[in-house]
Each structure stands twice: as C-alpha cells, then as structure tokens.
Amino acid sequence: MMKKNILILLGLLIGQAGFAQEKSKASLEDQVSKMAKQIEAMQHDFDQITKGIDDLDWHNKLADVAFVDKVIITGPPPAVIKNPTGQGAKNPVRFSAYVFIPAKIDVNKKYPLLVLPHGGVHSNFTSTYAHIIRELIAQEYVVVAADYRGSTGYGAGFYRQIDYGGLEVEDVKSSRDYMIQNYDFLDKNRVGILGWSHGGMITLLNIFNHPEDYAVAYAGVPVSDLVARMGYKSQSYRDAYSADYHIGKSADENVAEYRKRSPAWNAEKLKTPLLVHTNTNDEDVNSLEVEHLIKSLKAEGKKFEYEIYKDIPGGHTFDRIDNYGAKEIRFKVYNFLAGYLKPNKKFKDVKELIQSSYFPPKKG
C-alpha cells in the first residue's frame, strides 16, 4: 500500500514538474512574441522619424528651383478588411503624395504632368530622387509622387495595407487625378508616368488599366512577372506576399492571383506609347522578367520601344545613379517622354541636363 502511495505521489510530482515546464515554455514563447511586437513597433517609429527628416531634406535640395508640397489624398478602401462591420472599416485609404512644381511657373500657361511611383516592397519616395526631380523641374514638368498603401514611414497600420500590384496601382492613379482636378495650369492631355523596379511595374499596370489617362510611359527595370519572381527569390521575400494582411497565399497556392498582378501576363492591354529598359546584370529584377514582358508585347503585336543593356555599371540602378553613362540614358528617356508631353524647356543635350541638376544655381 505504501509503495502504491509512493508511486502515486511520484506520478503527481512528475506531472506537476511537467506542467511547470510547459508553463515556463509557454511563458517564454509569450515573452519572445511580445518582444518581437515591441521591436516591430520601434522599427515603425524609427521609419517615421527617418521619413520626417527626409521630408526636410526635400526642401533643402529643391528650394531654389521648386515649390515642394506634401498632400494627403485617398485611394480605394483596403484590400483586406478583417472586420467589415467595424466602424469606418470600408473607408477609402488615406495616403500622402509629394507635389513638385517649378518655382517660376506661370499659372496662365499649361504644363505637362509626370506621375512618378516609387519602387521597393514597403519602401517610400525619398530624396535620393532629388537629382531626377531637379532634371524634370528644369524641363518645366510638374511631378507627383505617391507614397501609396504599404509604404514605410507611416506606421504599422499603413504598412499592412500593402497590396502589391493591386490597389496600390489605383492609389497612384488617384494621385494623377488629384493633380488634374486641383491644378488648373496642368494639361490633362499631357500626362506621363515613369517608374523604376516596382515603380516600373506600377507604371505598366497603370497604363494597362487606364490607357486613356496617360499619353506616354517609361518603365525602367520593371518587375514584370511575379510568378517567375517567386521562383528565384528567397523564402523571406515570398513570405511578404503570403502574409495574412497581403495576398494571403503563396504563388503555388494561388498562381492566378500572382499572374493577374504581372505585367507580362497583361501585355494585350497596352495602348499607350511605352519605353522599357532592362540591364543584364540587374541584381534585383532579373532581366528574364523584363525579357518575358518584351516577348509578350511582341507576341500581342504591340508597338513599343525597348533596350536591353548589357552589364551596365550600377546594376539595378544603372540609369538612376550619378555617373555620366546614367545621365546619357536618362537623356534618352527624357527625349522619349518629350516627344509626347512637349515640355516647355526640353533638354538639348546631356550637358544641359547636367547643368540643370548638378551645377550651383545661377544667380539672378
């Protein structure tokens, strides 16, 4: 009897020890999870601080040539609504957009508009584009650049609104519409769009979905085939798309959705004059994606212009950096855009491009 009681007691002690161990393990997991959320919240706080500092930098870099504004506008309601009956759940998404207007503008004249969506997954429009904006301003373009849903620098909630290749495209279109509706000196028939990388993808999907709203487009190293892209990118990259607040499924689980968001699989929609560039040593958007787009456009019998650059220095950013070769390529891009948008002060040569953006401002 005593032996039996000892065995029962031993069993209870072992059970309690196991329970305590499980409780300790659960507690540790809870602590790690809580800490991960705190770190994520801090990262978003840092991003907002960085964004605020960079906004000041825009004014420092452009004050001599442009009026710089930042407006808040709306796009469609969220793509993913977890509580559709919640208060304001289906309200349009608010987002910011940068507006750049030449300082010496004559409001009695008409000016062309360029829409410039930024690149990057969860990135934003930063002053690294300052030289390009100065070049556009020098030609007397007005520019709008949206920090569409999912951009960083606006908190966790906005970050989770990401809809890559989806409603972010409509946010950028909304920025175009805002400009036409609010600035009488813009010519609605001279609106172009240009972007690089993810911004190039948004450029393509804008002209595919809204061909009547754009006179011309340039897509530099554009993400063109999300199905192929998921195949050569890392698992952590793929996870950003399959997150429950984003597409929610991986490409193998819903290939049709990834195809729908891929310009190469929508080539039949092209109606807008288009220039496409890619670089064979691109370390981000493999040139195979852009080559698929080019082949698809040709197969559909579409008229467009393109150039496949061979191992140009700079890789993914080959025509956005500051060396002379990049400026020569941008001059080509500007020439293409000018053929349709007719800016008041079209560059005559690369020298004029350089003087407009890289030289000290002329006095008087």
Q: What is the pLDDT of residues 51-65, one digit of tens each?
A: 999 999 999 999 999
Nearest to 150 by CA among 131, 134, 136, 170: 170
What percentage of the chain has pLDDT greater than the value 90? 84
Residue 202 phi/psi, 5-degree rounding, is -65, -35
DSSP-assigned states of every residue in 69-80: EEEEEE-SPPS-
Determine contact, residues 224/293, Cβ cutoff 8 Å: yes
What gap in Å lies between CA 351 and CA 212, rounded to an integer? 35
| 18-29 average pLDDT score | 63
Residue 45 phi/psi, 5-degree rounding, is -60, -45
| 59-80 average pLDDT score | 95
What gap in Å lies between CA 232 and CA 238, rounded to an integer? 10
User: Side chain identity at 310, as an amino acid letter?
Assistant: K
Residue of higher predicted confidence among 252 and 1: 252
Determine contact, residues 276/224, Cβ cutoff 8 Å: no
| 109-120 average pLDDT score | 97
292-320 residue pLDDT tens? 999 999 999 999 999 999 999 999 999 99
Give how far the C-alpha of residue 295 lies from the chain's centroid of Cα atoms, to the nearest Å.
Answer: 24
What gap in Å lies between CA 133 and CA 60, rounded to an integer? 13
| 130-157 average pLDDT score | 97
What pLDDT, on the 0 to 100 scale, is given for residue 248? 95
Q: Kindly tell me if the per-residue pLDDT of 333 is higher than 90.
A: yes
What gap in Å lies between CA 55 and CA 70, rounded to an integer? 9
- Calculate Rg over the CA atoms of the chain: 25
Residues 6+ apart with CB under 8 A from 328: 350
What pLDDT, on the 0 to 100 scale, is given for residue 156? 94
What pLDDT, on the 0 to 100 scale, is given for residue 38? 83
- For strand 274-279 and strand 142-147, is the pairing parallel, antiparallel, or unpaired? unpaired
For residue 361, give the DSSP letter. P
What gap in Å lies between CA 141 and CA 268, rounded to an integer? 30
Nearest to 105 by CA among 324, 345, 337: 345
Give how far the C-alpha of residue 360 lies from the chain's centroid of Cα atoms, to the nearest Å.
Answer: 31
What gap in Å lies between CA 274 and CA 203, rounded to an integer? 10
| Angle CA 204–128–123, to nearest 5 | 55
What gap in Å lies between CA 132 and CA 119, rounded to an integer? 14
pLDDT-derived band of residue 6, with 50, 70 and 90 as boundaries? very low
Tokens, residue 67: 């009026």
175-203 residue pLDDT tens? 999 999 999 999 999 999 999 999 999 99
Tokens, residue 213: 């709203």
What gap in Å lies between CA 155 and CA 166, rounded to an integer? 20
Rounded alpha-carbon distances, angstroms, from residue 87 to 84, 157, 218, 275: 8, 16, 41, 44
pLDDT-derived band of residue 26, with 50, 70 and 90 as boundaries? low
Q: What is the mean pLDDT of the chain?
A: 92
What pLDDT, on the 0 to 100 scale, is given for residue 347? 97
What gap in Å lies between CA 108 and CA 240, rounded to an integer? 47
Determine contact, residues 131/358, Cβ cutoff 8 Å: yes
Determine contact, residues 331/322, Cβ cutoff 8 Å: no
Q: Kindly tell me if the per-residue pLDDT of 160 is higher than 50.
A: yes
pLDDT-derived band of residue 13, with 50, 70 and 90 as boundaries? very low
Determine contact, residues 193/207, Cβ cutoff 8 Å: yes
